[in-house]
């Protein structure tokens, strides 16, 4: 008798609604993770509760309202669609094996435990895929640790990084290549989420993996060194983060005569606030205000056939090992 497999696709998280109350609830869980903010709780929690959450939650309302879809947040909507499409493809490929695919958020809903309970009675084994292509203790590690903490009874396997996997690079190239053909002589900016520099110094491989992803994608697209740049976005707080900062790079480019850019965010598997509002709106405005003439954002992989094919490739490799 063949096994029944459960697959949990995990992303960072989203508020339940574009309201100050929902945003504060989400940020409270997210920013209380010791891997995300590496400060002593006695120092950080009072700052978070009384200073950061009230101000930041209210300030983000307009941003979330701007990107919110009619039914839900873009992140949760795309994750649900991706899960459904992957399940269909996996079952279609091998009708002898039962395969269920659900999605979960590390912070917010649906929680990891909710996803597990949805699968528990129907599967023999679970495969967890944190949809962070580049490994970091601030993202991937928090998922694996949370799963281990929950003590699930079913056997669990993890796919923890795929930053240099050929099928991932191929999927990115298939989304970027048409835009390069449509906009020739345009600089490609690959913007990854930033991290405090001290995290890299602690041994986190994230920065190195971002650079490897960018290099492999540039090679796949046959770009010269002059045709692309790497940068890091979403800096928060006063400490030094990975550089160059995306906002600084984009405002500096027009002064150097580079006035047309394509921007892709290879570290984001699915659209979220950081891509749809920070990059597509804020950074575009900065670039044009600095003298830029053309700014095109290349969407994330989302629920595209390329993303589904890449995930299938990874899952087949897990089956074969």
- Let me know whether 241 and 259 are in one domain: yes
Tens-place pLDDT, residues 271-302: 999 999 999 999 999 999 999 999 999 999 99
- Let me know whether 19 and 117 are in one domain: yes
The percentage of residues in the chain with a pLDDT greater than 90, rounded to a whole number, is 91
The structure's pTM equals: 0.96
- Let me know whether 53 and 191 are in one domain: no
Tens-place pLDDT, residues 77-116: 999 999 999 999 998 877 657 899 999 999 999 999 999 9
- Let me know whether 156 and 11 are in one domain: yes
Binding-site annotation: residue ranges for Fe(2+) = 193, 274
Q: Sheet containing 260-264: which strands, arranged edge to edge? A: 228-233, 187-193, 260-264, 294-298
- Let me know whether 10 and 154 are in one domain: yes
- Let me know whether 146 and 181 are in one domain: no
- Let me know whether 170 and 148 are in one domain: no
- Let me know whether 207 and 290 are in one domain: yes
- The CATH number given to whatever domain includes residue 93 is 3.40.50.1400
- Let me know whether 290 and 315 are in one domain: no
- Let me know whether 153 and 14 are in one domain: yes
How many Cα atoms sit within 13 Å of 111 on the Cβ side?
Answer: 10
Least-confidence region, from 39-43, 214-218, 229-233, 315-319 = 315-319
- Let me know whether 152 and 230 are in one domain: no
Binding-site annotation: residue ranges = 193, 274
- Let me know whether 316 and 271 are in one domain: no
| Tokens, residue 16 | 């339940």
Query: Phi and psi dihedrals of 114, rounded to 5?
Result: -60, -45
Structural domain including 106 reads 4-162+304-320
Could you give the angle at which helices 74-93 and 305-320 cross, rounded to 10 degrees? 50
Task: Report the domain count for the chain.
Answer: 2
Tens-place pLDDT, residues 171-225: 999 999 999 999 999 999 999 999 999 999 999 999 999 999 999 999 999 999 9
Tokens 């039914």, residue? 71
- For residue 116, the surrounding DSSP H or E stretch is helix 112-119
pLDDT for residue 38? 84
> How far apart are the C-alpha atoms of 271 and 299, rounded to whole Å?
7
- For residue 47, the surrounding DSSP H or E stretch is helix 41-47
């Amino acid at each position: 008798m063949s096994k029944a497999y459960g697959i949990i696709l995990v992303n960072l998280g989203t508020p339940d609604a574009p309201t100050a109350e929902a945003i504060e609830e989400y940020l409270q869980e997210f920013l209380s993770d010791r891997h995300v903010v590496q400060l002593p709780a006695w120092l950080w929690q009072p700052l978070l509760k009384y200073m950061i959450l009230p101000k930041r939650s209210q300030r983000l309302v307009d941003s979330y309202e701007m990107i919110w879809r009619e039914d839900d947040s873009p992140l949760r909507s795309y994750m649900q669609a991706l899960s459904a499409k992957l399940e269909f493809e996996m079952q279609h490929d091998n009708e002898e094996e039962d395969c269920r695919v659900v999605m979960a958020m590390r912070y917010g809903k649906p929680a990891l435990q909710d996803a597990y309970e949805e699968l528990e009675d129907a599967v023999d084994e679970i495969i967890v895929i944190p949809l962070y292509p580049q490994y970091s203790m601030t993202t991937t590690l928090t998922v694996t640790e949370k799963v281990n903490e929950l003590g699930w009874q079913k056997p669990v396997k993890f796919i923890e990084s795929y930053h240099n996997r050929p099928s991932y690079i191929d999927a990115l190239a298939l989304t970027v290549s048409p835009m390069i053909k449509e906009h020739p002589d345009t600089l490609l900016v690959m913007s990854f989420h930033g991290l405090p520099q001290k995290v890299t110094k602690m041994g986190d491989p994230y920065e190195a993996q971002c650079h490897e992803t960018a290099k492999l994608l540039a090679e796949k697209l046959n770009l010269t060194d002059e045709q692309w740049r790497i940068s890091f976005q979403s800096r928060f707080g006063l400490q030094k983060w990975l550089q160059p900062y995306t906002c600084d790079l984009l405002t500096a480019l027009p002064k150097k005569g580079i006035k047309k850019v394509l921007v892709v965010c290879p570290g984001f598997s699915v659209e979220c606030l950081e891509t749809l509002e920070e990059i597509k709106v804020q950074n575009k405005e900065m670039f044009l205000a600095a003298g830029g003439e053309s700014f095109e954002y290349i969407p994330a992989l989302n629920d595209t056939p390329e993303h589904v094919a890449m995930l299938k490739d990874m899952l087949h490799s897990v089956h074969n090992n």
